[in-house]
Structure 1
Amino acid sequence: MAFSASPLALARQLLAILNRDGDRLRRIDDYLHGRHADPYMPAMADDEYRLLAKRSISNWLPLLVGTPAQALYVDGFRPGMVAGGLPAQAETTSDEWAHWQRSRLDARQAAVYRGALTYGHSFTVTERDSAGRVRTKGLSALKTAALFEDPANDDTPHAALTVTAWPSPDAPGRARMWDAREEFAVSFKSLDDAKGVTVSRVSRHGAGECPVTRFAALVDLEGRTLGVIEPMICLQDRINQTIFDLLVAQTYASVKVRTATGMAPPIQRDPETGDPVLDGQGNPIPLPINHNARRFLFAEDPDVRFGSLDETPLGGFIDSVDMSIRHLAAVSQTPPHHLLGQIANLSAEALLAAETSLSRKIAEFRTAFGESWERVFRLAAELAGHGGAEDYQGEVIWRDMESRSLAQAADALGKLREQLGIPAKGLWRRVPGVTQTEFEDWEELAEDEDSVGQLASALTRATSDSRSETYAEAA
């Protein structure tokens, strides 16, 4: 797709994208935060019905975002090949990792993943701060748009824009825009007012391409992005409707109804005349009957008959809710026990099988997000002026977040060491929960132990040689 070279034309296109996608993304945002569509209710519903509808909202969607996001954690970066063709080692003292720590991405990376999983995509921008240091920060999909020549395959945007202030009656909206060379300041009256857009040049950003990077959870060959929330909205509405029906049945029909036939209720009478008190339509006004589980019903007339109407069983509603949640788990590739909280009597093999689908989904997200982080590291290297700007062989290191016991991991790693001959140091990263800093500490301790061992061996050999010479002289 060809784009106009005019910054004003690019700004108009990017604002039009935000306007086009705004309703869909806001609907996704509403469902994420529990602002769901009301369940169906009668047109003449009273306030009590509406209160039950409000209480029927049971928001499961944040769990669908949080479950994979909590398994995504970048713990290091391994550059590409170094001199001699040997693979480089990940180090916390590298320039790439210094940029990561300076940007505080240990904590802020989670917001990037959650945004991409929620809306289908999120963004980061890599730039120099006022002190000249390179930093990367996240950008919201609700306020950011990017243009790609080939949105399905390109990782470098032609241009990108993020809104910094929405327009108000007193002031126009403001935005920042980047192309392959420069940054621009954009002013606009509204997203759909192309004539109210103005653009002014700010400065060159210093990178050889647009410094904005897209993080997409899923991109099809049409360039469309899809998150985990939008496909689940129908199932979420079904769960809300079932819970609403359950609350209605629980409120109005979950108790036995006492009935009486052959008698009329007592009516209100004028205390002076004894005449019945009539309502506006000429009917006697009955007295309220104070009846509860502690009172008995009796009548003087032998023709009066008492009875009861059975309560509505709630088991069917509960089963329906359970079935809908299971459907939600299956379609979203989320283990059912994560949603239902039922993990009793599950063997280790059954638990592993239940987690397999989620593990595959997380591996897919890691592959997509890893490519985006690698571009971020290349941009940071170019802006900082060190040699990683063309490093297309580098890769991020994801922390192993699988739930395995340390005893199981130690047993498996020991077998790999003994049966396959894999060096022990090569298995250190497989230890559950190990961080890059701990890994480097282990390396230093191993080197210290090795040095001590070599010194002890040298002293032992020297002592043995000295004793041998002494024996020889004595002989």
Structure 2
Amino acid sequence: MSDLVELQQDEDVTEFSMDAAALGDLLGSRQKEMRAEWSRLEWIQRHIDGRIARTWMPEGADAEYKDLLRKASTPWLQYARNALAQGLFVDGFSDDDLWKQAWQANSMDGRQIKVNREVVGLGKSYGMALPGENGTVVMRPMSALHTFAHYADPWDEYPEWALYRTAKRGASYWDSSWYFFDRECWYRFTGSPATPQNLEVCRHDLGFCPVVQLSNTLDSDDAPESSIEAGIKPWKRIVDYTFTLSMVMRYGAFPQKWMAGGEIATDDQGNAMIRPSVDSLLHASGDSGETARFGSFQAANIADVVTGLESAKADLSAVLQIPPHYFMSKVINMSADGIEAEESPYFRNLEERKASLSEGYELWMRTAAAVLGKQALAQDTNVEVHWLDQRTRSLAQVVDAIVKLKTVGAPDSLLFAFIPGWTKQDVLDATASAARLEQSEQQILAMQATETAAEPAGNIDGSTEES
């Protein structure tokens, strides 16, 4: 965070800040609570990443068996999370100046992608806004996997304080680099929360902790709900079916051989000298070899396992409200109406996510306004973020709607926002260009009116009246 104002330690800062001992007492008393929350989120993240922590396997499972199990863990939940997050993209804000000074100046078009993914996957994420150099504002996302925020009241907009873990430095989990934020100052230190070392402090003079929680659901009683956690059990069934399919393809897709009677040659330790495989040949030795009988079992039906796998994917689709054709491997010819019907639950789900997530982004932008000294805007609860419309619409339909809305006096800034693929900057440029064009036309009309008024009135015979 090199863009932040330089850390300083003077009398003014010391008056409003905590020393290392006081900070250690505060954070040390919450250390168990922090670890419990981070462990809960890490458990969800492991499943999203497709990592199976513990699973049953038969005693004496060989390396081939373990390899098949490892390959069966496909990260379908990660794909589902991204499919939802890709429908969430903020591309505008009510105040154009703040949009440029805060959002675009901090590259939030790109940074929001990770925030939206985490909000969908883990249920929440965090963001901070602090004074930067030369009167600017620094906005940075903070992962919920490394952030702990303490709220005095569940309905508060801002936490009392927040702790952010940046990177692991030593062998111990708690031996890291840390940032701490409260109502008056922000701190940087190393070591553990209970024993801060190399403490540096800087005032931000905001009067509140400049950390914002962005939530997937707004509920004061419980932690924000993940949109992906409900899909963990269906995903595990997909893993089971995928592993079963791999086993069947490896061991059951070809006829298994059998032999009755006779003896198989063994080595000195009594182990069979051949191992049944696709291209192996069974041979019965000894005196009873002449009476041995050979045969093969029927090959396994792979199609039945594939049907079960597709059924498990359909369950995951229904639970997460994601169109089933997003998960299916086969391309199915569908009409436009059919696709719209399949995707309607998906877009309803997105609208719910936007309703909750908008509040966090709006508060984050208002916090940035407070940092920039725009107090009226910081207190304005009517500001809104604008979401990019991801629905598929033809350009002809959009243009027709824009022309009709223009006839009733709708402003250009709203009409241009309907054009598919246009960013907020495109809308601002087009609006400014349209305003310049309209101003030029008005000036031309005014000049023409002035010239007409200056011309002497003519009589019927072509003569002019003297003034």
Regarding TM over 0.5, the answer is yes
Q: Is the 8 A contact 2:254 2:278 kept in 1?
A: no
Q: Deviations over 1:309-367 (max 9, x none)?
A: 21011122111111111110110111111111555321212211211111122112222
Structure 2: gaps spanning 5 or more residues: 1-17, 284-288
- What residue number does 1:98 align with? 101
Structure 1: gaps spanning 5 or more residues: 80-90, 268-276
Residues 278/243 of structure 1: CA separation in 2 closer, same or farther (3 Å cut): closer
Which letter maps to 1:375? L
Q: Is the 8 A contact 1:39 1:240 kept in 2?
A: no
Measure how far apart 1:212 and its partner are: 0.5
> CA–CA distance in 2 between the matches of 1:227 and 1:311?
43
Instruction: Give the one of 14, 26, 39 matched to 2:42.
Output: 26
Q: Are residue 444 (structure 1) and residue 444 (structure 2) matched?
A: no
Identity of aligned residues (%): 26
CA RMSD of aligned residues (A): 3.7
Which letter maps to 1:101? Q
Q: Is the 8 A contact 1:14 1:161 kept in 2?
A: no
Which letter maps to 2:56? Y
TM-score, normalised by the number of residues in structure 2: 0.81
Instruction: Give the one of 300, 303, 309 matched to 1:321.
Output: 309
Q: Is the 8 A contact 1:207 1:379 kept in 2?
A: no
Q: Are residue 40 (structure 1) and residue 28 (structure 2) matched?
A: no
- What residue number does 1:203 align with? 202
Within 5 A, what are the aligned runs for 1:168-187? 168=170, 172-187=175-190
The worse-fitting range, judged by mean Cα deviation, of 303-312 and 28-37 is: 303-312
> CA–CA distance in 1 between the matches of 2:373 and 2:275?
86
Q: Is the 8 A contact 2:218 2:356 kept in 1?
A: no
Q: Is the 8 A contact 1:155 1:372 kept in 2?
A: no
TM-score, normalised by the number of residues in structure 1: 0.80
State the number of aligned residues: 437
- What residue number does 2:8 align with? none
Within 5 A, what are the aligned runs for 1:11-410? 11-37=27-53, 39-79=55-95, 91=96, 94-151=97-154, 153-166=155-168, 168=170, 172-189=175-192, 194=194, 196=195, 202-259=201-258, 279-281=268-270, 292=279, 307-342=295-330, 344-386=332-374, 387-410=376-399
> CA–CA distance in 2 between the matches of 1:290 and 1:439?
66
Measure how far apart 1:458 and its partner are: 5.9
> CA–CA distance in 2 between the matches of 1:261 and 1:389?
85
The worse-fitting range, judged by mean Cα deviation, of 304-313 and 19-28 is: 304-313
Residues 121/340 of structure 1: CA separation in 2 closer, same or farther (3 Å cut): same
Q: Deviations over 1:47-96 (max 9, x none)?
A: 221111112112101112111211222212114xxxxxxxxxxx3xx144
> CA–CA distance in 2 between the matches of 1:287 and 1:373?
67
Measure how far apart 1:137 and its partner are: 0.3
Q: Deviations over 1:209-264 (max 9, x none)?
A: 11011111124342312223322222221111111112112211111235566766
Residues 40/8 of structure 1: CA separation in 2 closer, same or farther (3 Å cut): closer
> CA–CA distance in 1 between the matches of 2:411 and 2:203?
49
Which letter maps to 2:43? R
Three-state SS of the structure 2 residue aligned to 1:75 is strand
The worse-fitting range, judged by mean Cα deviation, of 123-132 and 394-403 is: 123-132
The worse-fitting range, judged by mean Cα deviation, of 98-107 and 215-224 is: 215-224
Measure how far apart 1:118 and its partner are: 2.0
Measure how far apart 1:178 and its partner are: 1.4
Q: Deviations over 1:423-457 (max 9, x none)?
A: 47353322222222222232233334434544269
